[in-house]
Structure 1
Amino acid sequence: MRPLLFAILMLLTASATAAIYKWVDKDGKVHYSDSPIENAQAVEFKSNTENQIKLPPPVVRESAPKEPKQVGDIYQMRITSPSEEETIRDNNGNITIIGSITPDLAKNHVLVLLMDGQVTGAAQLTPVFNLENVDRGEHIFEIRALAQNGKQLASTPPRTVFLHRATINAVPRPTPRGN
């Protein structure tokens, strides 16, 4: 069955290369057709009128070299305390930020704490940061792991914390005395 189908398809493709005919009608218009008409002439095409598309050879690209580990691939980090949007009440403005890091920090890597986008304090090896005399209000904290050259290796998601402090300039109010 397949050889017969193949033979029929080959005959159909051979007939597909039919000639083109040209004729001029009584009004002087030129017409073209693939079927012969009375007074039509077969048109011979020159090789330069045929569409010839030459594609450039395909470019074979070798597999790209492996990229170095991206930011966040080396360590998994998060802030464990205080919790997100926690309100801390401390009149001295003391806040302790505690983070976790997996795996353990390498010897040549350090941690820094960012408060409101600015590095706070010196770099250290432990993910526990004690801050003193922090202004009251909303603060955003982030811990980053850095290489010796300062390249960021990983970071925690930002953590928003609110600090409430009593006002230093508060005017004392008189307390009513009972009779």
Structure 2
Amino acid sequence: MIRWLLALGLLLATLPGMAQVYTYIDAQGNRVFTDQPRPGNAKKVQLPPGNRMSPPSASAAPAPTAENRPEPLFHYEMLRLLIPEPDATIRSTAGELIVSVTSEPGLKKGHRYRLLLDGQPTGAPGPSPVFALSDIDRGTHHLAVEILDEQDRILERTANQPFHMQRMSLAQKRRIKPCAIADYGLRPECPLADKPEEESSILPFF
């Protein structure tokens, strides 16, 4: 029994995966296995299903290489607002403000500054460290500045820095510095329409 099982195993190992196996008893009483049908007493052998493993899929994602790893972000040692100073009070009739920033090291090629007023960008980012703002509402506001790289990634950002805008009305400016005759038409708070008529120095003729 063991001999013919071994013979069957060897035969299966040498035959193609889809070949048919036959068995019969020869004239000497030995069991024989073959892949050729034999007229007479040869019988088909029922083969068990195969146990083959599929090869790994070729579409599997490749391991990351040095070429496709993202470059590390550049970091600046220092970034801060120079003007205005923290908690500064700005007095402007038109709500105007000049903002200046600095970084260490200096701005790298392709990098840009972006100024934020109350969390919103004041304009398109650019290489200039000076920003001119106007028509800022009266009250307390917050400034912050960011540095962006070529892919618009934020490299650095300052904390929000408060300042206070005081917009004086024309009436307030006139009270602080009353209009002289020569000021009308020159100072915005002294329009020509408000210029008083000059008194005549000629006495009336009787």
- State TM-score, norm by structure 2: 0.46
Which one of 79, 83, 105 corresponds to residue 107 of structure 2?
105
8 Å contact from structure 2 (residues 147, 157) kept in 1: yes
- Give the partner amino acid of 1:68: P
**Aligned residue number for residue 161 of structure 2:** 159
**Aligned residue number for residue 23 of structure 2:** none
Structure 2: give runs of 5+ residues left out of the alignment: 1-68, 179-206
Between 1:133-142 and 1:73-82, the stretch displaced more is 73-82
| Aligned 1:83-102 pairs, distance under 5 A | 83-102=85-104
**Aligned residue number for residue 114 of structure 1:** 116
Displacement of 1:125 after TM fit? 0.4
Question: Does 2:146 match 1:144?
Answer: yes
Task: Determine the C-alpha separation between the residues in 2 that align with 1:169 and 1:94.
Answer: 19
Task: Determine the C-alpha separation between the residues in 2 that align with 1:129 and 1:100.
Answer: 12
Structure number with higher relative contact order (C-alpha < 8 Å, ≥ 6 residues apart): 1
Displacement of 1:74 after TM fit? 2.9
Query: Cα deviation per residue 1:79-138 (whole Å; 9 max; x = unaligned)?
Result: 111111110000011111111111111121111100000001121102111101111111
Would you say how many aligned residue pairs link Structure 1 and Structure 2?
Answer: 106
* Gap change, CA 1:74 and 1:150, over 3 Å in 2: same
8 Å contact from structure 1 (residues 101, 127) kept in 2: no
User: Which secondary structure does the structure 2 equivalent of 1:123 belong to?
Assistant: coil
Task: Determine the C-alpha separation between the residues in 2 that align with 1:149 and 1:169.
Answer: 50
CA RMSD of aligned residues (A): 2.7
8 Å contact from structure 1 (residues 75, 154) kept in 2: no
Which one of 82, 90, 99 corresponds to residue 80 of structure 1?
82
Displacement of 1:168 after TM fit? 7.0
Task: Determine the C-alpha separation between the residues in 2 that align with 1:75 and 1:135.
Answer: 33
Task: Determine the C-alpha separation between the residues in 2 that align with 1:121 and 1:134.
Answer: 14
8 Å contact from structure 1 (residues 112, 145) kept in 2: yes
Question: Does 2:72 match 1:68?
Answer: yes
8 Å contact from structure 1 (residues 114, 143) kept in 2: yes
Query: Cα deviation per residue 1:131-154 (whole Å; 9 max; x = unaligned)?
Result: 011111111000100012111001
Task: Determine the C-alpha separation between the residues in 2 that align with 1:74 and 1:101.
Answer: 7
Query: Cα deviation per residue 1:44-102 (whole Å; 9 max; x = unaligned)?
Result: xxxxxxxxxxxxxxxxxxxxx9x9347xx334101111111110000011111111111
Structure label with greater radius of gyration: 2
* Gap change, CA 1:168 and 1:122, over 3 Å in 2: farther
Which one of 123, 126, 129 corresponds to residue 124 of structure 1?
126
- Give the partner amino acid of 1:136: R
